[in-house]
Amino acid sequence: MAVAARNGRTTASPHTSITTTAWPGSLDSWFSWIPLPKWALITVAVAGAILLLLFLICIIKCCCSKKKPKKKERIGLCAVSNSTTTNLVQPEMEDLEREVEQKQRGKLQYSLEYNFRIQELKVGVKRAVELKAMDSGGTSDPYVIVYLTSDMKKRYETKVYRKTLNPIFNESFTFQVPQAEVSESTLVMQVYDFNRFAKHDIIGEVRLPLASVNLQHVIEQWSDLMVASKVEEEHLGEICFSLRYVPSTGKLTVLILEAKQLKRMDSNGLSDPFVKVHLILNRKKWKKKRTSVKKNTLSPYFNEVFVFEVPFSQIQNVDVVISVWDHDKVTKNEAIGKLFLGCRATGNQLRHWSDMLSNPRRPLAQWHILQPPDVVDKALGLKSHLKLPLHSR
């Protein structure tokens, strides 16, 4: 019995271990339910994986084949010889840059009124908005130059407004224009950025052919500032000088520093420039001095100083005329250009004069653009036959 019992335990133990260690979720249990051998099942699984891989490859090829026609279409469009079609679909970068640059220049408001009875054109420069920033601080110092192409020698300037992109000018200027010349004239309004020690930068301009305007009525409108035209009036040159006034002593000091880009007056393409400084008192010539002559140059350097005695009671009545001349030994000396400063001046000249009076004893230097001599003489209201009276020292 003991042996039988012992044998029974030994025979029962393997049976128990088989039933207790089997895992119902194992592969062997799954295989036991499928009436196929293991090698057949593995073959089916491998074949299914291969079919799935081939299916994915087909999908990828289909996606790539759909993108290729788009690429060919884009390349084919660039190859079209018709420039109009190409520009409509794909504009040139220069056109895009020009359009962006154009939008940044701002707008100008102005008015026009023509009096047919006295044949006079009145131009009102109202204001500007959203001007292009020309200075490093993100602002500009704008002013406006106004002239007609039929008489480019006559130019007007507004006052300079500091550090603003939205100046309010409210200034008006009058031109004598015969009715027969109205249709042939173009009104030009140029907005500049003022610089004391460098050339003034042009922000933009408005060119308005008067033939396209109905002058039967008063016109007030806005126009976009355009890129300045390359066709400008004759450039006479620029001159740099400083002013200093001491009220207690009544001494006015004019330091002629230099000039540049002067008009060519001689056959060799150069000039022999010198500078005259006139003092006008109550619209009559009063005192004058002149620099030495610089031979064969368009950019002379003078650095010559002149001191005038002007009592403080007379400083408001004095005009300082700066003129550049070309020296000639054989013929008469010719004037290259002029400008004048004083309380009657306008634009940059008035600004320079006002700054001098506001800063006594301090020399203030500035560049100025030369103007046609006859325009300056007309603005001064001087008569050419008046002679300079002798001044006793």
Residue 198, domain extent: 104-225
Q: Is residue 325 part of a domain?
A: yes
The answer to whether residue 26 scores a pLDDT higher than 70 is no
Total domains in the fold of the chain: 2
In a domain, 31, yes or no: no
Average pLDDT of 316-326? 94
Q: 274-288, pLDDT tens digit by residue? A: 999 999 988 888 899
The pLDDT value given to residue 349: 92
Cα separation, 16 vs 373, whole angstroms: 128
Domain identity same for 127 and 213: yes
- With the CA atoms of 243, 247, 250 and 251 taken in that order, what torsion angle do they form, in degrees rounded to the nearest 10? -30
Structure tokens at 96: 């895009």
Give me the mean pLDDT over the 291-310 stretch.
Answer: 94
Contact 351, 164 (CB under 8 A): no
State CA 210 to chain mean position distance. 26
Query: In the listed set 177, 203, 225, which residue is the last one of a domain according to the structure?
Result: 225
- Say if residue 269 is in the same domain as residue 187: no
Together in a domain, 144 and 206 = yes
Query: Is 66 part of a structural domain of the chain?
Result: no
37 located within any domain: no
Angle at 168 between CA 366 and CA 210, to 5 degrees: 95
SS3 (DSSP) at 365: strand
Q: What is the mean pLDDT of residues 335-346?
A: 92
- Are 267 and 218 in the same domain? no
- Listing from the earlier edge strand, what are the strands of the sheet with 364-369? 301-309, 251-260, 238-246, 364-369
Write the CATH number for 270: 2.60.40.150
Look at residue 229 in the predicted model and tell me its pLDDT.
73
Same domain, 219 and 341: no
- Final residue in a domain of this structure, among 225, 258, 276: 225
Distances (CA, A) of 255 to 42, 156, 198, 263: 106, 26, 18, 22
Sequential DSSP letters for 202-231: EEEEEEEEGGGS-TTS-EEEEEE-BPPPS-
Judge whether 232 lies within some domain: no
Task: Assess whether 294 and 271 both reside in one domain.
Answer: yes
- Residue 158 to residue 161: CA distance in whole angstroms: 9
Amino acid type, 195: N
Instruction: Judge whether 327 and 272 are in contact, CB under 8 Å.
Output: yes
Note whether 244 and 114 are same-domain residues: no
Same domain as 275, residue 213 = no
Confidence band, pLDDT 50/70/90 cuts, at residue 138: confident
pLDDT for 304 equals 95
Q: Which of 115-119, 136-140, 201-205, 245-249 has the lowest mean pLDDT?
A: 136-140
Residue 170 within a domain: yes
pLDDT of residue 81: 39
User: In terms of domains, do 151 and 260 share one?
Assistant: no
Q: Are residues 194 and 280 in the same domain?
A: no
Last residue of a domain, one of 225, 258, 284: 225
Measured CA to CA, the distance from residue 46 to residue 24 in angstroms comes to: 24
Which pLDDT score is estimated for 82? 40
Does residue 245 share a domain with residue 219? no
pLDDT of residue 181: 83
Contact 159, 169 (CB under 8 A): yes
What is the three-class DSSP state of 333? coil
Contacts of 150 (CB under 8 A, 6+ apart): 177, 181, 184, 185, 186
**Whether residues 320 and 348 fall in one domain:** yes
Q: Give the tens place of pLDDT for each residue, 46-92.
A: 887 888 888 788 777 766 655 444 444 343 333 333 433 333 444 45
Give per-residue burial for 145-174: e unless 16+ CB within 10 Å, then b. Answer: bbbbebeeebbbbbbbbeeebebebebebe
Do residues 207 and 186 make contact, with C-beta atoms less than 8 angstroms apart? yes
Residues 354-370 have pLDDT tens digits of 999 999 999 999 999 99
